[in-house]
Structure 1
């Protein structure tokens, strides 16, 4: 998926993926990661999601990566925050109290730039990427986060009926990307109400990913 595709989506306000409230699956299942107070949650391809508002309201710190600078400027405006903006390599770093957003190509983000990550919340990143990029993305995410625990939400549907994004990422593919580093737990797989475009049956699969070394401790 070329960067220009997403820039045009934001410029035209074609952001049907942007939800009008915090995601219910996040609210219901983030506690399963057992995060401590003030933990830092990384959201890849974050847009201006209201999930960030909710996480901040719960006392978490937030880091994000987003291609569209327009989305990020809107996010800070909606948070009523004035960011400090610096250049970090190929990325712009928007920063305010308890929030850091890196603007640009997520593959230019390094572990040193990102800093501490206590958990990853991926609702709209893996499913936004075409198949040929997903393996590169998941390997990069593991690297920059030092295999942080993850709450992952995927769509599962008959891909031939819809071109995407969001793309269908089934359970076998999730395991292909992550099972060598994590213990995977499928928490819930609710139906998408009305399906995609009101006609294509789809489910959301909610995964908890716990680093294998942590899972195997006594």
Structure 2
């Protein structure tokens, strides 16, 4: 899977993965992270998720990384905010009050560019990547966030019944990627109503990762 895949998805508006409201697992379990008032939350591969609007409404600051310029433009349009745009290395940096989005390849985002974050919310990044990219991604995420606590959302289903993304990620793989850096707790595992994309039965899990 390459960058062109995601650019085509956004250009063709094939964004069934986009939720119109804040994710219910985020709303329910974000308090477990004990983020301070006004704390900064990093969302890798954030798209234009409504989770950002929810986090801002709760008084948190948001940082995100997203490959698609189209997605970021739509995000700020839906927030009714005009961002300031500058260059950060090979990335574009779109900034407004309480929000920083870095546009481009997340692997080009450094810890210095990102700045300090209090927590990570990964609903759409790990599950979006094929197996060959996940180890590199998780290692990079741990590095640029300085092992910040994390709320991670994953899916489990029969991968032979449907191609990803989102990809099926078993609990053993989650532990393989993160056990050297975090204590892992699965907060909840539940059935996806109607199946994943309406195609196959699936379970959705919320994980708490604490250094």
Same fold judged by TM-score > 0.5?
A: yes
TM-score range for the pair, normalised by the shorter chain length: over 0.9
Corresponding residue number in structure 1 for 2:49: 49
In 1: Cα distance, 2:122 partner to 2:197 partner: 22
Secondary structure of 1:160's counterpart equals coil
Corresponding residue number in structure 2 for 1:29: 29
How far did 1:200 drift?
A: 1.1
In 2: Cα distance, 1:203 partner to 1:116 partner: 33
In 2: Cα distance, 1:197 partner to 1:22 partner: 18
How far did 1:196 drift?
A: 2.0
The Cα offsets for residues 101-137 of structure 1, whole Å up to 9 and x where unpaired, read as 0000000000000001100000000000000000000
Q: Which runs of 5+ in 2 are unaligned?
A: none
RMSD: 0.6
In 1: Cα distance, 2:174 partner to 2:184 partner: 9
Q: Is 1:102 equivalent to 2:102 in the alignment?
A: yes
Q: Is 1:72 equivalent to 2:72 in the alignment?
A: yes
Q: Is 1:189 equivalent to 2:189 in the alignment?
A: yes
In 2: Cα distance, 1:171 partner to 1:23 partner: 21
Corresponding residue number in structure 2 for 1:176: 176
TM-score computed with the length of structure 1 as normaliser: 0.96
In 1: Cα distance, 2:37 partner to 2:123 partner: 22
Secondary structure of 1:139's counterpart equals helix
User: Runs of 4+ in structure 1 displaced over 4 angstroms?
Assistant: none
The Cα offsets for residues 48-86 of structure 1, whole Å up to 9 and x where unpaired, read as 000000000000000000000011011111111111100
In 1: Cα distance, 2:131 partner to 2:43 partner: 20
The aligned length equals 211
**Are the structure 2 counterparts of residues 143 and 198 from structure 1 closer, same or farther at C-alpha, using a change threshold of 3 Å?**
same
In 1: Cα distance, 2:31 partner to 2:198 partner: 31
TM-score computed with the length of structure 2 as normaliser: 0.99
In 2: Cα distance, 1:116 partner to 1:191 partner: 35
How far did 1:198 drift?
A: 2.7
In 1: Cα distance, 2:64 partner to 2:92 partner: 12
1:1-218 paired onto structure 2 within 5 Å: 1-211=1-211
How far did 1:197 drift?
A: 3.8
In 2: Cα distance, 1:180 partner to 1:54 partner: 31
